Amino acid sequence: MKTKRLQEYDVVELCKALPGIDVPIGTRGTILIVYDSALPEYEVEFVEPTGDTLALLTVKEGYLQKINLL
């Protein structure tokens, strides 16, 4: 069974550390852009618990986990 790729506006959580980037594991963000390639990458806006933007980064799929809010 093929895994469904993440989509624009999915809420995600960083599930492993990004080398050289100071965004803690567990930080939530929203996918803004899906880059179509063999190894998918995503433009993600990571936010503070207050809603303030922490970082806007291009992240490989293996670093993200989709969060179900319902």
* Residue-by-residue pLDDT tens, the chain, 70 positions: 445 689 999 999 999 999 999 999 999 999 999 998 888 899 999 999 898 999 999 999 999 999 988 7
- Among positive and negative, which fits the CA dihedral 45, 16, 68, 3? positive
Match domain 11-66 to its CATH number in 3.30.70, 2.30.30, 2.60.40, 3.40.50: 2.30.30
State how far the Cα of 61 lies from the Cα of 17, in Å rounded to an integer.
13
So what's the pLDDT on residue 50?
A: 92
Owner of token pair 């799929």: 61
SS3 62: helix
- Would you state the structure tokens that stand for residue 4, as one six-digit string? 């469904």
- Would you state the structure tokens that stand for residue 69, as one six-digit string? 């809010």
Domain chopping of the chain, boundaries? 11-66
